[in-house]
Amino acid sequence: MVATTRIAALTRADAELLAAARLRAARDQPYLAAALFAMVPVSAPGFGTFAVDPWWRLYVDMDTARSWGMASTAAVLVHEAHHLLRNHHDRARSLGVTGAHHETWNLATDAAINDDLVADGLPVPSPVLPRHLGCAVGGFEEAYYRSLRTRPQAGEHIDPACGSGAGGAPHPHEITDEPADPSSGLDPVAADAVRSTVAHDVAAATASGEHVPPSLVRWATAFLEPQVPWTTLLRAALRKDLRAAVRNTTPDWSRPDRRADSSPGVLRPGQRSVRPRVAVVVDTSASMQRTLLDVAVTEIDALLHRGGASPVDVLVCDQEAAHPQRVRRLGDLQLSGGRGTDMRIGIAAAAVLRPTPRVIVVLTDGETPWPACAPTGIAVVVVMIDARGRDPQPAPTGAGFRTVRVTSR
């Protein structure tokens, strides 16, 4: 096999045919338009089908396209766009798909895509469907793949060839070079930008009542609302600011300077690490959900103990800030309140505590005005608790704020 290293251009007639097929595909599934027109066509005469690589290059045998006809060629373009949108290449890598199992994964992804396309009436040529693999309809690619691994004979007479962009085996026509510019392929950042556009278009189509294949709705929902546990995000945000606080030191005459030998006769103090001071502002207005609040308080409590920031100053706040409480275990805190909300008051009250906190954590549902920026020299981590079914409140946008969203289920 000879590796290709340059884009093989289409003839004028082939380019016109492919352009017409893209327009037909965009009419069939208009929310895919951004992906359909982002793919970079590469002529692959004699290949016998269409395929994609991870750089969004679309390898096309236009003689085969003529034999398919316009409607089926458009359906194949939709099929290949689904491979790229669903990131089948990276998902295969995450599963550890290697060697001979590339074809098994390609079969699983083809079945998951074609299940919806055929149900929508798109004339995919010789489609691989879940029933051909002995699988139930409506399943996920990973589930189909695991099922096929336990039954190697299933699908053994089907030869998938969607290319490395589908997580399948690379084919001889694939270009080995990474794209130098958008005309030769998409890098991961550009690819994710296209995915984001399509995900929003799918969400908009669904909201307006248009029919969208269920698996594409699932994909768009997962893309727009990544299921990263909020506790993981909170840990990352808090640890970053706690580490920054711990790195600070203060002069200490009770311990010798480690570099005293380099300057004999000169007295210099040693250095002592500063214990990170943390204040927690708890929104206790009427709109707050106590269950989520208890979970967030418990998580923060554990983090502060592990980070050496206990005890902490806690201020409960609705439209006024209560007197600060010095507590060693946040779970024992008695919360009171129930009126309106103004977290600016709580943040300001925390900022004037002595000693000055290096980090302020704010627990709130976001129904509050925010200061223009965080207090000077203080990082503010906002834990925003969003209620399911309610429009999320805007997060603070000023300098020094870091926001973690928690969604109630």
**Structural contact between residues 204 and 238, judged by C-beta atoms closer than 8 angstroms:** no
| Strand duo 57-60 + 269-273: pairing | unpaired
187 and 247 housed in the same domain: no
> Does 266 fall in a domain?
no
Residue 167 has pLDDT above 90, yes or no: no
| b/e sequence 166-202, b meaning 16+ C-beta within 10 Å | bbbbbbebbbeeebeeeebbbbeeebeebbeebbebb
Structural domain harbouring 316: 230-252+271-407
370 and 395 housed in the same domain: yes
**Structural contact between residues 169 and 106, judged by C-beta atoms closer than 8 angstroms:** yes
188 and 325 housed in the same domain: no
286 and 345 housed in the same domain: yes
> Does 361 fall in a domain?
yes
CA atoms within 13 Å, Cβ hemisphere of 328: 0
Residue 19 has pLDDT above 80, yes or no: yes
CATH assignment of the domain containing 315: 3.40.50.410
207 and 247 housed in the same domain: no
Q: Of 301 and 52, which is predicted with more confidence?
A: 52
> Does 262 fall in a domain?
no
For the chain, what's the residue count?
409
Lowest mean pLDDT among 85-99, 167-181, 357-371: 167-181
244 and 217 housed in the same domain: no
Residue 331's pLDDT is 63
What one-character DSSP code corresponds to residue 409? Answer: -
Lowest mean pLDDT among 34-43, 114-123, 397-406: 397-406
Q: Which long-range contacts (CB under 8 A, 24 or more apart) does 225-231 make?
A: 230/404, 230/405, 230/406, 230/407, 231/299
Alpha helices in 49-164 (DSSP H): 62-68, 70-85, 88-95, 101-119, 141-150
Q: Of 289 and 94, which is predicted with more confidence?
A: 94
Highest mean pLDDT among 34-43, 96-105, 132-141: 34-43
Residue 142's pLDDT is 85
Alpha-carbon separation of residue 247 from 61, 127, 273, 407 (angstroms): 60, 60, 7, 33
pLDDT-based confidence at residue 81 (cuts at 50, 70, 90): very high
Q: C-alpha dihedral over 110, 116, 122, 128, to 10 degrees?
A: 30
Residue 246's pLDDT is 47
pLDDT in tens, 347-377: 999 999 988 888 898 988 888 899 999 999 8
Percent of the chain at pLDDT exceeding 90? 29
Residue 83's pLDDT is 94
Residues 6+ apart with CB under 8 A from 13: none
Residues 6+ apart with CB under 8 A from 167: 83, 88, 89, 91, 92, 93, 97, 102, 105, 106, 109
Return the residue matching tokens 């502060």.
Answer: 304
* Both structure tokens of 228: 């990263």
pLDDT-based confidence at residue 284 (cuts at 50, 70, 90): confident
pLDDT in tens, 198-255: 999 999 998 888 989 888 888 888 788 655 565 666 666 666 666 655 445 555 555 5
pLDDT in tens, 313-328: 888 887 777 788 887 7
Highest mean pLDDT among 22-36, 163-177, 198-212: 22-36
Residue 271's pLDDT is 55
> Does 3 fall in a domain?
no
204 and 343 housed in the same domain: no
Give which of 51, 155, 31 is closest to 100, Cα–Cα.
155
Residue 181 has pLDDT above 60, yes or no: yes
Q: How many CB atoms lie within 10 A of CB 112?
A: 27
Residue 1's pLDDT is 42
198 and 296 housed in the same domain: no
215 and 243 housed in the same domain: no
65 and 129 housed in the same domain: yes
Residue 406's pLDDT is 73
156 and 285 housed in the same domain: no
What one-character DSSP code corresponds to residue 261? Answer: G
What's the CA gap between 381 and 343, in Å, rounded? 13
Q: pTM (2 decimals)?
A: 0.57
